[in-house]
Amino acid sequence: MKRHWTLILLMALASASMAQDGTTVFPFLRLPHSAHATALGGENITTITDDLTLAFHNPALLSNVADKTLNLNFTSYIEGSKVASAAFSRQFGERSAWAASVQYMDYGEMTETDIDNNELGTLSAKDMAFMATYNYLLSEQWSGGVTAKFIHGSYAEYTSFAIGVDLGINYFHEENDFSASLTLKNLGGQVKTFDEEHEKLPLNMQVGFTKRLAHAPIRISATLDDLTHWESSYYNPEGKDISFSDLLFNHVILGVEIAPSDRFYLAAGYNFKRGNDLKAEGGSKWTGATIGGGLQMKRIKLGVAYANYHTAASSLVLNFSMGL
């Protein structure tokens, strides 16, 4: 047990030492590709189920995925943008698993103009990340994982390359159906910049919990998100005084899931930061709400979720997984 808590402490210290305010590059890395996590508020690092898409959120959860799983995902984002991902996983011995995955975002074509606003044609912008995940069962209750990311961006004639790492650890008590996790995401930086300035990856530290109710097929989840940024993450265009409770809830994501069997679930969630940000931009107080569900057949799993990431458009996240 001592070595597990030592690992958690080292992860927390690494996050604290690297946490800095400011702009970041490749924000597409924070978009969810999992319908399950999207339905639970957009981020979830603790749900224990056979769902490869949850390993995008916490590599320690890969231990729950069946051998030889193929996964395809698509997200409808702001008009003109396309978001997609794919993954494949294999078990490796009795205690290990690995997965290879790719994330892709196409921002569409945009009109190129000069300083006098004369149209010169069109340009495109794309981001892509190639990832390799390794997971290991540390004990019957503890699992750890790491994901290496190789990230490339192409915006018109400008290109950039970065390397990042996600770390995750999960504790699961099966008898109590209680799960707790800690993740550090996007540790790393640019190897090649778009211009002369090096920008940071969107570093994110998360802590999460999921608990199934004792006498009902309901699981409650809470995720504390973006713990390396506090006041700077609160969207406050009017410059009002920010209370401690405002800052705290700006990092809270809540989710509830009804799963009467392993073959079906319905889920809903609320992301307080997204609700605050979009409300400040003219959206309603419900813009932080999410909803979704999933169906598992013999070899095929389907997932769908609805969320708002912009006041101008709603998003649908679609997942398809198949056992080979």
Distance of alpha carbon 285 from alpha carbon 258, whole angstroms: 24
Whole-number mean pLDDT of the chain? 87
Model confidence over 55-102: pLDDT tens digits? 999 999 999 999 999 999 999 887 778 899 999 999 998 899 999 999
pLDDT value, residue 196: 80
Model confidence over 268-307: pLDDT tens digits? 999 999 988 888 777 777 889 999 999 999 899 999 999 9
Are 288 and 274 spatial neighbours (Cβ–Cβ below 8 Å)? yes
pLDDT value, residue 19: 37
Residues 6+ apart with CB under 8 A from 252: 222, 223, 224, 225, 272
Count of CB atoms situated within 10 Å of the CB of 186: 23
pLDDT value, residue 199: 85
pLDDT value, residue 156: 81
pLDDT value, residue 7: 43
Query: What three-state secondary structure class fits 273?
Result: helix
pLDDT value, residue 190: 94
Distance of alpha carbon 314 from alpha carbon 308, whole angstroms: 5
pLDDT value, residue 127: 95
pLDDT value, residue 18: 36
The Cα diameter of the chain in Å comes to 67
- 84-110 as b/e: b if 16+ CB within 10 A: ebbbebebeeeeebbbebebbbbbeee
Are 218 and 258 spatial neighbours (Cβ–Cβ below 8 Å)? yes
The amino acid sitting at 309 is: Y
DSSP run (H or E) holding 267: strand 264-271
Paired strand residues for 72: 86, 320
Domain layout of the chain by residue ranges: 2-323
pLDDT value, residue 184: 97
Are 61 and 43 spatial neighbours (Cβ–Cβ below 8 Å)? no
Are 55 and 145 spatial neighbours (Cβ–Cβ below 8 Å)? yes
Please give the model's pTM, rounded to 2 decimal places. Answer: 0.88
Paired strand residues for 218: 258
CATH label, 2-323, candidates 2.40.160.60, 3.40.50.620, 2.40.160.20, 3.65.10.10: 2.40.160.60
- One DSSP character per residue, 38-104 reads HHTTS--S---SS-GGGGGT-GGGGGGSPSSEEEEEEEE-STT-EEEEEEEEEEETTTEEEEEEEEE
Q: What is the mean pLDDT of each run of 10 residues along the chain (324 residues)?
A: 42 38 79 95 96 97 97 88 94 95 89 75 88 97 97 91 97 96 96 87 96 95 92 62 74 96 94 87 83 94 93 88 96
pLDDT value, residue 80: 72
Distance of alpha carbon 203 from alpha carbon 241, whole angstroms: 26
pLDDT value, residue 284: 76
Paired strand residues for 145: 135, 168
